[in-house]
Amino acid sequence: MKFAVTSRGDSNSNTLMQKIRTYLMDFGLTYDEDQPDIVVTVGGDGTLLYAFHRYRSRLDKTAFVGIHTGHLGFYADWVPEEIEKLVIAIAKTPYQVVEYPLLEVYIRYINGGRESRYLALNECTVKSVEGSLVMDLEIKGQLFETFRGDGLCISTPSGSTAYNKALGGAILHPSIEAIQVAEMASINNRVFRTVGSPLILPNHHTIVMKPVNDVDFHITIDHLTLLHKDVKSIQCRVAPEKVRFARFRPFPFWKRVRDSFISD
Ligand code: NAD
């Protein structure tokens, strides 16, 4: 089996990365940074997000497992003291794999057929460069509302505990194939009106955001922020691809939520 290890880059995570690499090679596994079957991340959720994007083109062939060297992560749920146990479990293939839904984002541009496709593990956010964001929202091809406010956040179920949660969105179990749309400070008065509640869209339902005035936006895909100019539309739906996590012990989602946000 081929493996790769990525680190957040701090000295603690780097030391741990070296140890894991040596241990796994001692077990006869092959280190392959380009085509790994399993990727071990050492750091936090951000390190796992980074690794997800690095191996985006081979998601069907790669499984991820995360170790956290800071506070408990949502994706990074192993602690440094457990690495020997984890290494033995990895070496003893086959392991169980759980799959979580992803968000597919298409950004299309004015003048020309150019389009960009992105996959998000957590979410995509859209904010204007200046002033309020004003967007027509279409759901399944029908105008739903004209949004005015700070921005919009479209998240995956596993990303629902990240930015989406801070916006008052619901926490979704990752077995639900859906995406969630959450508002950032919408303007609601006698003139402007939005639904005001987070929306949960099932698989195959598409939401399209179409600019009303400005056509330049700050769009984030997980940790990545880009300025997109001359945007015609932003389309979001559940992606056909999934992310695969290697599971070596049960860690139910609701326990993870409790340990992260209530008490461990
Ligand atoms: P970061 O260093 O600012 O860390 C963000 C925090 O979000 C970390 O504590 C991380 O553990 C946590 N996190 C990430 N994914 C999570 C998930 N799925 N469930 C629960 N917590 C999660 O940024 P980063 O490490 O580069 O991560 C980028 C993420 O930060 C974005 O995808 C977004 O979800 C999140 N974010 C959150 C807010 C907010 O809550 N107001 C604002 C901006 C970005």
| pLDDT at 217 (0 to 100) | 98
Ligand 1 test: best mutation among 100, 103, 122, most atoms within 8 Å of CB?
A: 122
What's the number of CA atoms in the CB half-sphere (13 Å) around residue 73? 21
Architecture of domain 102-240: Sandwich (2.60)
**Which of 237, 246, 226 is CA-nearest to residue 94?**
246
Contacts of 103 (CB under 8 A, 6+ apart): 119, 120, 123, 124, 154, 155, 156, 159, 179, 236, 237, 238, 239
245 lines ligand 1 (CB under 6 A): no
CA separation, residue 47 to residues 34, 67, 170 (Å): 17, 9, 25
246, 97 Cβ separation under 8 angstroms? yes
Which run of H or of E encompasses 142? strand 142-155
CATH of domain 2-95+248-261: 3.40.50.10330
Residues noted as catalytic: 45
How many residues appear in the chain? 264
Residue 243 DSSP one-character state = E
**Residue 111 annotated as binding site:** no
78 lines ligand 1 (CB under 6 A): no
| pLDDT at 263 (0 to 100) | 86
**Residue 45 annotated as binding site:** yes
Cα 196 from Cα 182, distance rounded (Å): 9
**Which of 201, 194, 168, 172 is CA-nearest to residue 182?**
168
pLDDT one digit per residue (tens) for the chain, 264 residues? 999 999 999 999 999 999 999 999 999 999 999 999 999 999 999 999 999 999 999 999 999 999 999 888 899 989 999 999 999 999 987 889 999 999 999 999 998 778 999 999 999 999 999 999 999 999 999 999 999 999 999 999 999 999 999 999 999 999 999 999 999 999 999 989 999 999 999 999 999 999 999 999 999 999 999 999 999 999 999 999 999 999 999 889 999 999 999 987
- Delimit the domains of the chain by residue range: 2-95+248-261, 102-240
